[in-house]
Structure 1
């Protein structure tokens, strides 16, 4: 399951995108007001400028949230540093379009990580200057879909959640081995890929898809070591009536009688 930092990163990207969408709409309204009231005296011009100023403030808040979201997801998803650079460049005139191209690329890789084609398409469109507003809407919708699997972190639970994150990566020396899922796994066709963190060496005995008769015909590696382990599992078949974006649970049984459930998001091969 995703830890606190990963859920918080997704939440910050969501809020950053919605801020940017609202900022674009307010900016368009401000430009129209300014053009209509330009001949109407100083009051009309002042109203137009105030609306544009509000849009600018929202745009800056959006980029701050996007930068924070990409930063928090950087340990789990590749190329998130491009989104951070893009959030900085998007503030600078004349190179802001380059910033949004980089943000779009990072959104694409985020969609690839979570197996969400809508987010991949949204990232591509976000990178296109003329129609990037459509990409922002698609990306926000896709992130909202992904976030349904992860409750949005609350302020009161931040301390507890942060402790869970630290435990996942810097666990104490427990009397018995502990295993955690790192990030979100994907199920493409009948092949599952995911990452586990372990405090000790463990041998995998059996893997099956929870609630189905689908089981693993092969998995590599068959033994996990201390630290992060990238696993690939080939299942006996594709889940019946599999739906793109659906969440599945993979049941893993180890030689020390430990059982772990891994979250997978389905995507057709």
Structure 2
């Protein structure tokens, strides 16, 4: 059974979380409309003489509106948990998106405060306390929202995907409509990234260095001009959890037979994906216990490839980050 690709898992979590944040404001917005419009209508009825009926209608509208706000906040919490989880996974494989994870934490704290405020609001007698608490949560969530937008931009920058970068910029602008549009654009852009990573055809931003000790560059092997070309893109990383992440360019589809770290007994037990598609391929190679490696040390990983029946070996450089 092949190992799940953590990069795709992180991107998918991020995208699904953004979808929740697109839906969440609708519910909360409807709730606020009910609190304001229906509440005013009830008060107008009270001024015309129907005090008892108006009071009952006001209470009903407050409860209904508060419930919608509560549901919207809870949906937002689910969304931001997935966004934070997505950022954390991408950070763990070397993507420079930590600011998005920080934003997710702040957003989560803010939304929890809004839920508490909404719960107090629907008790009716707690409105003077509940609403200020709710707005305090909104301010904290707003700061988190800005940082999430910056994190989304960094995702677009890492994968050289312009739509995601535009979406991240708009999402970071603290105006509801603009931010909302930014999340929609980000959702579309990250979908493109997922498709590129799944097919192994994405081209990394040449200036992007997160997770690598130097900018992306190519290390071609010497083959005749008509022969298939396989070489490393950038410089990889090896982590203490036993995984190595590498980007490999292939001029033609091929299969990976094995990988080993030179000068050590470490040999791959799982490579995902184990097929190379034409273009850039992001590999996750599991070597097991890497505690014998030196933190900061550079190691050569030899990858054996089967290309149309021809066995080819290429060397890739990776830094052990511990």
Q: Same fold (TM over 0.5)?
A: yes
Query: Are residues 1:102 and 2:159 paired?
Result: no
Aligned counterparts, 1:225-240, within 5 A: none
8 Å Cα contact 2:13-2:85 kept in structure 1: yes
8 Å Cα contact 1:12-1:69 kept in structure 2: yes
Query: Are residues 1:83 and 2:100 paired?
Result: yes
Correspondent of 2:171 among 126, 144, 149: 126
Correspondent of 1:112 among 143, 148, 157: 157
Question: Quick one: higher RCO (CA 8 Å, sep 6+), 1 or 2?
Answer: 1
Deviation (angstroms), 1:55? 0.2
Q: Which residue of 1 aligns with 2:35?
A: 34
Question: Secondary structure at the residue paired with 1:258?
Answer: strand
8 Å Cα contact 2:168-2:182 kept in structure 1: yes
Question: Secondary structure at the residue paired with 1:11?
Answer: helix
Distance in 1 (alpha carbons) for counterparts of 2:245 and 2:5 = 20
| Shift in alpha-carbon separation, 1:207–1:133, aligned structure 2, 3 A | farther
Distance in 2 (alpha carbons) for counterparts of 1:4 and 1:232 = 15
TM score, norm. by length of structure 1: 0.60
8 Å Cα contact 1:207-1:253 kept in structure 2: no
| Shift in alpha-carbon separation, 1:137–1:220, aligned structure 2, 3 A | closer
Query: Are residues 1:143 and 2:190 paired?
Result: yes
Question: Secondary structure at the residue paired with 1:128?
Answer: coil
8 Å Cα contact 1:33-1:48 kept in structure 2: yes
Distance in 2 (alpha carbons) for counterparts of 1:225 and 1:27 = 44
C-alpha distance after superposition, 1:201-245 (max 9, x if no partner)? x9823498xxxx9x98xx8899x9995698899x9xxxxxxxxxx
Q: Which residue of 1 aligns with 2:7?
A: 6
Question: Secondary structure at the residue paired with 2:221?
Answer: strand
Question: Secondary structure at the residue paired with 1:83?
Answer: helix
Distance in 1 (alpha carbons) for counterparts of 2:10 and 2:187 = 13
Correspondent of 1:50 among 62, 67, 70: 67
TM score, norm. by length of structure 2: 0.51
- Bigger Cα Rg: 2
Deviation (angstroms), 1:77? 4.7
8 Å Cα contact 2:163-2:185 kept in structure 1: yes
CA RMSD of aligned residues (A): 4.4
Runs of 5+ unmatched residues, structure 2:
43-56, 111-136, 213-218, 239-243, 252-276, 282-302, 315-322
The total of aligned residue pairs comes to 202
Deviation (angstroms), 1:101? 1.7
Deviation (angstroms), 1:9? 0.5
Deviation (angstroms), 1:250? 5.5
Distance in 2 (alpha carbons) for counterparts of 1:120 and 1:18 = 17
8 Å Cα contact 2:35-2:66 kept in structure 1: yes
Question: Secondary structure at the residue paired with 1:53?
Answer: helix
Query: Are residues 1:257 and 2:303 paired?
Result: no
